[in-house]
Structure 1
């Protein structure tokens, strides 16, 4: 039981990092990123590949963050020329392009066969609970550092500028500010957080395949942000943990469902329950759990 709880906590912390990155991009800046899973995949594969060549894990994590941030750079240049709705489609295409590239570039990623045997974090502690607890402690520290950094950003001049981009970009231009470089920086920073989350995921799961990086992952991150509270750092944390509660809690529907319901039908019912939760949040708590309770 303890191992299961720790495993869920690690995956939840990975989603916290992903949600913090999306909160910076959309919640604070208004950039609609539907391809967040692409940066997650880049970080996971980058760290896995270089670590299997003997690169220390600390360096491989840094490389994952750097490569994901660099991948966001051309996406940021595209953002300067497109409206929000078109940019959303471009990012969705980017996420799928990354997954297709992973599938086709067998010489680098081993294609659909995936990459097994990825080194574990804290491998010296073994594959049991001690190693998992050490991994949980490490990723928790990273989540706390990222949350504090984002909170500091929101209270800085940089944070006020990116919030102005979200609220009224034309007014910001009239004041002599150039939103272009701020958008690129925000996309790169959010992508770097997703890259670090991908690195943790790769070294915890120790196996990667393209099927792990479908658009549904991006949907889950958006769901976490909406449930927690868009534009709030605390909302990203609360929303990601609530998401894991829904995803794991619905697994136990099988225990109370009639035996006549097949496994396939139960999977559909589980996703339906998650979707219903999102609809209810959108209707009755559009500001999220930690949003402004004086508004509807």
Structure 2
């Protein structure tokens, strides 16, 4: 049970990172990216191939993020001066192009070249060979404790802000109460999940399991990226991105270089997806071109839409809900007698139906702000 929860935590962290990159591009800037998996692919393969050449793992992951950002630069220069639909078309094509090139191109694995369709295996993974003493174990558990403590404190602040706002806007009692109750329920559920992950992680770190080390790394990176993005989107830079999303003619009239801001958003979102690619390669221990099919992009879209576009916490919540659903329906064949292919199609149909209902009931997503996305209209 502990190992399974750690696996789910790593998967959720990776796709939360992946979704945060897309949320920056779409949720905050309005860039339609249907090939987001291309950035993940480049990040994964760059990290793995460089590490096989002896480049330190951390440096390999950073270079992978830079390469993914450069892809965003190339796509941006070719499409961002055109209509929005050109970006959507180009990104779909680029995502498939990179996967097919990796599938059909020989790759330098070690001292020899191997067909890309055979995948890449036996590459270094962070903390896999670590044999920690009791001091290192306690240090790792201390870092996990700090992360859990910060998470619980931030959740408490998030709920408290809603309560204070509810009191201040008591003349709007019904709407305020609904927001406070929803925040309270979501906050309590996230707090329970945080405690469960903390207990499982502390046990696995004390008995040292390499996957627990990877889980801690993924949570640290997710927390750092989330923190920096929250600062960025609340800065003047982030406010310009939101203005571009709503009506780019307004920032243009104010003298802002809209093309440059879009390019920055596309590159930064791509770099974040590249980091997610490094982590998915480390989690899988062997990567193949079929790990990066277009479905991964639409999983990210599901996460962003479900949690609420233009809201970083909503993206993290969307990733949690998505993986709870995904793992919860894995054994649906015990209830409904279907083969694996039909079961997979049914699971996609169900989540599609959930999204349709959500779009009718709450089109801005669970934590999205409808008044912000429509400029209060």
TM-score range (shorter-chain normalised) is over 0.9
Q: Quick one: distance in 1 between partners of 2:237 and 2:344?
A: 44
1:243 Cα deviation after fit: 1.0
Within 5 Å, which residues of 2 pair with 1:96-175?
A: 96-108=96-108, 110-125=115-130, 130-175=209-254
Q: How does 1:1-296 map to 2 (within 5 A)?
A: 1-108=1-108, 110-125=115-130, 130-258=209-337, 261-292=338-369
Alpha-carbon distance in structure 2 between the residues aligned to 1:129 and 1:207:
22
Distance 1:200 1:172, change over 3 A: same
> What is the Cα deviation at residue 188 of structure 1?
0.8
Runs of 4+ in 1 over 6 A off after TM superposition: 126-129, 293-296
Number of equivalences: 294
* Secondary structure of 1:123's aligned partner: coil
Alpha-carbon offset, residue 29 of structure 1: 0.5
Q: Deviations over 1:150-197 (max 9, x none)?
A: 110111111111111111111211111111111111111001100000
Q: How far, CA to CA, are the matches of 1:214 and 1:44 in structure 2?
A: 13
Q: Deviations over 1:11-68 (max 9, x none)?
A: 1100000111011111000101111000000000000000011111111111111111
Check 1:294–1:194 CA distance in 2 against 1; reply closer, same or farther (3 A cut). Answer: closer
- In 2, are the aligned partners of 1:23 and 1:236 still within 8 Å (CA)? yes
Cα distance in 2 for partners of 1:175, 1:98 equals 38
CA distance change for structure 1 residues 136 and 74 in 2, over 3 Å: closer, same or farther?
same
Note the aligned Cα RMSD (angstroms).
Answer: 1.9
Cα drift, residue 72 of structure 1: 0.9
Instruction: Name the TM-score, length of structure 1 as normaliser.
Output: 0.94
- Per the normalisation by structure 2, the TM-score is 0.74
1:294 deviates by 7.8
CA contact (8 A) 2:306 2:355 kept: yes
